[in-house]
């Protein structure tokens, strides 16, 4: 457990050494590290974390969005990175302002992000610019609204 903690902080340190501007904030909670990355540095930071030999975050476990309505910036996009070789996990977070949120895609770094980003687009309306195939994935193509947003009622619009 302890060695993992050190390893995680090393990842944050590596990121800082590489470009201090890519780390806007570091959040520690329950032994998990979250690095808040400014939007313009996201893809660069992702490429660095995936290719840096001592980190090798080559696996994107998950990509998900949280809607903090009515706060601004409204959306948080979370990237759960995993390094199989170094047995590390790290969460990147990008804060996005609504109501037409837009984030650069990370499909060029992790192709698995394709469907994850489609899901976030489908359910939260986040536009991932540069995405090869940004269509709805779970909801019907002609659906109106974004169901997982907090201003969308649980039982739907009637």
- Give the footprint of other proteins on this chain (CB under 8 A): 29-30, 32, 34, 58-62, 64, 66-67, 78, 80, 84, 87, 89, 91, 110-112, 114-116, 123, 135-141, 147-148, 154
The DSSP secondary structure of 59-108, one letter per residue, reads EEEEEEEEE-TTSSS-EEEEEEEEETTTTEEEEEEEEE-SSS-EEE--TT
Residue 45 or residue 60: which is nearer to other proteins going by CB?
A: 60
Residue 67 or residue 134: which is nearer to other proteins going by CB?
A: 67
H or E element at residue 15: helix 2-18
Is 155 in a helix, a strand, or coil? coil
Residue 39 or residue 61: which is nearer to other proteins going by CB?
A: 61
CB of 17 to other proteins, least distance (A): 25
């Amino acid at each position: 457990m302890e060695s993992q903690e050190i390893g995680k902080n090393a990842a944050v340190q590596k990121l800082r050494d590489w470009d201090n501007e890519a780390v806007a904030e570091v959040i520690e909670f329950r032994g998990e590290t979250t690095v808040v990355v400014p939007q313009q540095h996201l893809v660069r930071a992702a490429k660095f974390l995936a290719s840096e030999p001592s980190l090798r975050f080559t696996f994107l476990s998950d990509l998900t969005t949280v809607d903090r309505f009515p706060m601004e910036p409204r959306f948080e996009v979370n990237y759960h990175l995993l390094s199989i070789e170094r047995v590390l996990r790290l969460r990147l977070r990008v804060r996005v302002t609504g109501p037409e949120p837009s984030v650069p895609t990370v499909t060029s770094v992790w192709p698995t992000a394709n469907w994850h980003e489609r899901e976030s687009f489908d359910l939260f309306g986040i536009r991932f610019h540069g995405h090869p195939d940004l269509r709805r994935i779970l909801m019907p193509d002609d659906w109106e609204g974004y169901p997982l947003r907090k201003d969308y009622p649980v039982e739907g619009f009637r």
